[in-house]
Structures are given as structure tokens and as C-alpha cells.
Amino acid sequence: MVKKHKKLHIKKRVQRKEREEIPKITLSKQALTDLITELVGASALPVVEQLQKRRNVSEFTIAEKLKLSINQFRHLIYKLDTFNLVSSTRRKDKQKGWYVYYWTFHPERLEKLYWDLKRRKLARLKKRIGTEQITSFYVCPNKDVRVPLTEAMELNFRCPECGKLLQEDKINLVKKLGSEIEEIEKELKEHSQESK
């Protein structure tokens, strides 16, 4: 039986998309850099920089530009893909007969993630400040643990790591947490006004 060769056909849609611009975002360059570094590491920054220039860039083009092996590049791009920050299309290289991936960065997804993480952090800090306000904390002199009073009582005021007597923590975190909360709330408020 003779296998029929499927006629390869490059979608026009892909070519048109290439000319579309990367969407603009309100996130500062610094915030973008910090977030990428935090999520996937600073090694992914040059890749993001290349992808910010245009859409649908061949993996080989970027790898070559950054002097990376194709596997090094793929390792970085998959990390970005984990956070859904990039998308790809694949096309068959007519001469070599293999598939090449073309990548597009989505800064608007990064921006959404940025605000989601901010809101989550705010909720975490609020929960934390609530606990700090209603109970005292006990610390190990060797800084192994810092536990609320009830837990310290369960431990008979002994550090589970080194056995030393726990002491009441005089450092009040309420003020510090309060100013962190205030800062995030201010940023979120400014953002919601910007996007109106």
C-alpha cells in the first residue's frame, strides 16, 4: 500500500499574525524583570527580551542570537510556558523536513499574573497581621523557630530543634506588616484606576 503524502500547507493566519504588534502593558520594565527573575530565573531574561521585539520568532533564530544550544533555549522557553507566558506555532521546514517552533511572548498574561500575585500576597499578609495582633510569639535563642503562644505551650517552651528554652519575641511585626499591606493596597488602587 502506498501512503499518501499529505500536502503541506502553511496557514496564512500565521503569517499575518507575525506582523501584529506585541500588546502594550502598564507594568514597568523593572517590575517585569523582577517577576520573570522570580518565576523562572534571570537566565530567561534575554529570551524574553528577544521575544518582546516581534511575534512568532523561530526557536533557531533566538538560540543563535543568544548563542544558546537549541536544548538550552528549549529549557528556558518551557519554563516560561509553564506560566503560560508564551505560545507557539509549528511549521515544517520544507528543506530539512522537521518541525520548527515559532514563539510569541504574551506580556498581558505576565501583567495579569503580576496583579494576581499581588492580591494573593495581600491576603496572606492580612491573615498574618491578624495573628500577630492577637497573640504573642516565642522564639528560639538560636532562631530555629518562631511560634505563637499556644504552640509554644504545646512545646513546653522548648525548641523542637535544639531544646533551648523559648523566649517571648519582643519584636513587633504588626507595624512592618501594616506598612507592607498599605503599600500593596495603594498599588492595587492605582492600578484599578489606571485600567478604568
**Chain contacts with Zn ion (rule: CB under 5 A):** 140, 142, 144, 159, 161-162
One-letter amino acid for residue 16 of the chain: R
Smaller CB distance to Zn ion: residue 124 or 164?
164
Smaller CB distance to Zn ion: residue 53 or 164?
164
Instruction: Please state, in angstroms and rounded to a whole number, the distance separating the CA atoms of residues 23 and 51.
Output: 12
Instruction: Please state, in angstroms and rounded to a whole number, the distance separating the CA atoms of residues 18 and 169.
Output: 59
Instruction: Please state, in angstroms and rounded to a whole number, the distance separating the CA atoms of residues 122 and 117.
Output: 9
Compute the 3-state secondary structure of the chain and give helix, strand, coil in percent, each to the nearest 5.
55, 15, 35
Smaller CB distance to Zn ion: residue 129 or 166?
166
What is the nearest approach in angstroms of Zn ion to the Cβ of residue 141? 7
What is the nearest approach in angstroms of Zn ion to the Cβ of residue 160? 8
Smaller CB distance to Zn ion: residue 144 or 151?
144
Smaller CB distance to Zn ion: residue 161 or 168?
161
Q: Residue 101 — φ and ψ, nearest 5°?
A: -95, 140
Q: How many contiguous H segments (helices) and E segments (strands) does the chain have?
A: 8, 6
Place of cell 498574561: 109
Residue 49 CA, distance from chain mean position: 16
What is the nearest approach in angstroms of Zn ion to the Cβ of residue 144? 3
What is the nearest approach in angstroms of Zn ion to the Cβ of residue 172? 22
> Which has the closest alpha carbon to 102: 87, 84, 89, 93?
89
What is the nearest approach in angstroms of Zn ion to the Cβ of residue 163? 7
